[in-house]
Structure 1
């Protein structure tokens, strides 16, 4: 380095040392790679949406201490992300399948082949199917949705995640919103309905722990399978999927014993309907269904109705049942009746739309814009098999869909006939079904901008390093592919898309790149003064209480495929999936008496059987069998092979947790 260049670098460092947030953008690129961490952000499917400090040379990742939610720490999934980037089995060059085997190919060969097959199929646009997931989030991650929409291709609808609860919130409040995350420290009490805070939101957990130090009490209601009891003052075990009955029981007790605030009820459009419904129910019947003792119902009633503000936290698991949306609606109704909506220290924390602070750049792309065919994600194999016109071309990105949807074996069969392109970096269950695999750039290897469904910051996801091997960003792949089509489908440049998406909140891309994040001005109290999003400004209660499905004596247990703490969904290293998968049951589980240590144990449903190791755990409901989600079928770890397709009562969510099962030795 010349002396003049060295002096220039030193001047840059000294001039920016008082503002570390700007340092990475004021030092020449080659220098900042040597001297400091880069401010970027996590784009994984998580509401915490952490702002991160990344040191490529030291392979270190930590939370940004300047970020108002991240506050200097992040979860192990984020801290270990270099393991994913540097994995030996990562796919870093395009692959083409020939005679059932994959061979390496150049990008030109792979995209020429894909373009020719897509051009042939797009003559009947519905014969093209695009399946998109949230393997990563961000403004540019929308590119594939926009690209295939403009082609007029078939798409997926529904979700594995939170849409039942999201629709429930919309029906009740007229919109999806919650108090600022920081406001939970103002609660006198927090009631956590089933959220596994250690595995889903360590930053919400940190805020609740901060509140506890200041005297806030925490009550958790859950069938188990989480670490929440050690962060709670009181724990109530509930039969899985019956939360609406417990909430209705508390409402019943409130109607029988409390003088409800008439001003509050006047902010509700249909209170008399709910009142009549609850009055017609028996408290004893309700408690028998949810298997919560009457004294615990009375305790929960007191937690909600005593003086002091109560914040309610709702986990996504309780809405992954056939009546999951109703579960959420009755909990929302309980928070409303008790006077804990629209106030500081109260509210319901479920989730907010991720893109609420970002705009769309879809209008910048020319092409088809009308209605198109949609296939239900939760029963995708059957949807593909009965599609008319038939599916001839499938593009999958951001989604290990063969692994993640119910009846995974049927998905393998459904993917045999069409020409399948998978954008993925590992040979997972979906990639194995591909005719062409295109390797994407990962987080830290591409630039993007994203919001959060938890906090109110927009984060800049800076590019920290060049992609490994021949990997390319999804946006770049689609731009190249679109230019090869006849006629071409052209995307704007990425910079234009980012700037367009930031216009909604008047955020400058330069400011965002400089600071790493921008906190958006958003009301700190959701639905303040009980002003709701419906046209009349009023709240809506549920008007029915659906019965539980009849019990199945042959399959008496409930299978719950719960979230992992070490990996995001199915982004699990293959080396960590050796041997036989483990399930966890209560010591009081009736199956324990029939299992023999001398024989193999099997998890069995109507869909099939899977060999498992059985371990006993505390704080589980006796009817529950827990297995951690995302294990690969190729490794014998995928529980979705045992789950039949079912849809929730609202929101087109997949009712993954309504699967019954049994355990036996063979």
Structure 2
């Protein structure tokens, strides 16, 4: 039997899928206007994850340092007893929820713990820096429809490796190129961008704002400014004064891009026709990541490419923008102001919390693996009672006192939007959950009803129907087709109307200097996305040996390393053994490691990355970590 469902993994493509339950085959839905009949290998082989031998399918309770199987009743009785005790001081409960599970029903854990008044987290390990930057500029988070890129004369891609993060955006770029659109990519290199680019420019990681400022400098010198565009801005004189006071050569020197390449980028923006600007999620993962995004947006604006077909600045939109909440239908508890702990430094935050954290619940997030300074998180998790909802014995699950096995994608129902396109998908349950696995919604509904002071949920259909009301989405149409298009303008900010109260665009007014390199750690560590697996969803069998890091042959460490000796990646936070390989067209100071490897196998670079905040959005500056390579 073939059933329409959808992917709920943390990916903007949010594919509509056809699942053949007999053959256990998965393919893209050909009727979905964005999915167009194909999906990535992460989605097409998802049955490998569902059927994995090491998947946890029975509740686990830790006794004397070892896990044993338990029934749901036994596990829930233990959890509820601990939770009822902790509710005497609601702040002593900490709920940690990640993007590993989102959707209308995926809000259940946040709603339940919000009703308890539990502590929560703030900050971001993902995209909040770029989101905050975009909202400061445009007033709201929006971009042109992804299909509008087919109308672009040229595309300037600031670092997005579409070969690893979005095969449907990549397909649109390939189609655009066949139609004559040219693509220029700016990145530190070592990625797959050469596959879809006509020109590649290598930049020093994290300095995109200086390159954008250098191009803006050329606009000022040429006097090539559109009065209509400037009239739609609030603070053009401030940006002009800032750029006027800068040296073109110094801007080029800081980003380590030649003046001739900067002039070429200017020509790409200034020539006739419209230019679409694609912004990677990597440029915001630096100490001044928000500034990076804002200066790129400013360049798209000054060049007259905002509010027009074939233009736009693509960062992302919110996957939940069309979905409402059903929290008001929940009975019991109250929604009081919650204490917030900073997610990227959660180990230190837990240790210093007053009142202390006594109970931790984690779902949708392999937090021990995904945040910097992992060892600190392990230490902080040692004292509280910890419940983890997960299906594998990953770095976070290992720290639990109780593990509750969730139903996975295809085993549970939900409704989810995309942070790239304008469709809402029905994620139908197409197979029964393995073993004793239960849907998250069922777990939280059951948990709430068992509490001494119960918190009760409506049924799941009621919650879905309520969540669809915000965008006036037809429940019947969604169930029948598996997806619904939600109306958003194809061209964002048409006629230069922006989301600020006065309708005007905002430019950045500061350009902070790049932090000085530590001479003891002169290289820059980039923990980039993998093309094969999503974040830490890596089978244990694929994590043998030391992880591989990639450098350019021009990297000063490459010639100094002795291949006959063990090699270590070293930061001020510690060291990890690695293997070193070379890759062409990579910035000579960059060191690439693919993210998501498990700490227990020595594969996780976050162990030696310091918790650092970005300049806005409380984001995590993973890519500002200095490092070196050495033999030991």
TM-score (norm 2): 0.99
Structure 2 counterpart of 1:461:
427
Structure 2 counterpart of 1:596:
562
2:566 equivalent to 1:566: no
2:183 equivalent to 1:218: yes
479, 482, 485: which is aligned to 1:513? 479
Structure 2 counterpart of 1:324:
289
After TM superposition, the structure 1 = structure 2 runs for residues 105-504 of structure 1, keeping only pairs within 5 Å, are 105-366=70-331, 367-504=333-470
598, 603, 609: which is aligned to 1:637? 603
Structure 2 counterpart of 1:87:
52
How many Å separate the matches in 2 of 1:66 and 1:323?
42
Q: 1:40-99 deviations in whole A, cap 9, x for unaligned?
A: 000000010000000121111010000010000101100110000000000000000000
How many Å separate the matches in 2 of 1:420 and 1:195?
37
Structure 2 counterpart of 1:30:
none
How many Å separate the matches in 1 of 2:589 and 2:367?
29
Answer whether contact 1:225 1:562 (CA < 8 A) is retained.
Answer: no
How many Å separate the matches in 2 of 1:188 and 1:203?
19
Q: Deviation at 1:628?
A: 0.3
Q: 1:559-618 deviations in whole A, cap 9, x for unaligned?
A: 000001111100110111011110000110000111001100100001111000000001
Q: 1:524-563 deviations in whole A, cap 9, x for unaligned?
A: 1000000000000000000000001111110000000000
540, 545, 549: which is aligned to 1:579? 545
Structure 2 counterpart of 1:530:
496
Structure 1 counterpart of 2:23:
58
How many Å separate the matches in 2 of 1:633 and 1:302?
46
Answer whether contact 2:124 2:344 (CA < 8 A) is retained.
Answer: yes
1:558 counterpart SS class: strand
Q: Deviation at 1:363?
A: 1.4
How many Å separate the matches in 2 of 1:117 and 1:136?
25
How many Å separate the matches in 1 of 2:386 and 2:471?
38
Structure 2 counterpart of 1:49:
14
Structure 2 counterpart of 1:613:
579
How many Å separate the matches in 2 of 1:364 and 1:419?
30
2:97 equivalent to 1:97: no
How many Å separate the matches in 2 of 1:64 and 1:127?
46
Superposed CA RMSD: 0.7
Structure 2 counterpart of 1:68:
33
Structure 2 counterpart of 1:653:
619
Aligned length: 631
Answer whether contact 2:161 2:193 (CA < 8 A) is retained.
Answer: yes
How many Å separate the matches in 1 of 2:562 and 2:553?
15
**Larger deviation, residues 369-378 vs 428-437:** 369-378
Question: Structure 1: where are the runs of 5+ without partners?
Answer: 1-35
Structure 2 counterpart of 1:15:
none
How many Å separate the matches in 1 of 2:86 and 2:345?
23
2:216 counterpart SS class: helix
Answer whether contact 1:562 1:628 (CA < 8 A) is retained.
Answer: yes
Q: Deviation at 1:522?
A: 1.4
Structure 2 counterpart of 1:622:
588
TM-score (norm 1): 0.94
Q: 1:384-436 deviations in whole A, cap 9, x for unaligned?
A: 00000000000000000000000001110000000000000000000000000
Q: 1:475-533 deviations in whole A, cap 9, x for unaligned?
A: 10111111110111111111110000011122222221110101112111000000000
2:200 counterpart SS class: strand
How many Å separate the matches in 1 of 2:137 and 2:471?
27
Answer whether contact 2:553 2:559 (CA < 8 A) is retained.
Answer: no
Structure 2 counterpart of 1:40:
5
1:318 counterpart SS class: coil
Q: 1:354-379 deviations in whole A, cap 9, x for unaligned?
A: 11111111211242222110001110
1:571 counterpart SS class: coil
Answer whether contact 1:460 1:516 (CA < 8 A) is retained.
Answer: yes
How many Å separate the matches in 2 of 1:137 and 1:635?
28
Question: Structure 2: where are the runs of 5+ without partners?
Answer: none
Q: Runs of 4 or more off by more than 3 Å in structure 1?
A: none
Q: Deviation at 1:464?
A: 0.4
How many Å separate the matches in 1 of 2:582 and 2:98?
34
How many Å separate the matches in 2 of 1:251 and 1:508?
46
How many Å separate the matches in 2 of 1:593 and 1:481?
58
1:627 counterpart SS class: strand
How many Å separate the matches in 1 of 2:465 and 2:320?
15
2:143 counterpart SS class: coil
2:243 counterpart SS class: helix
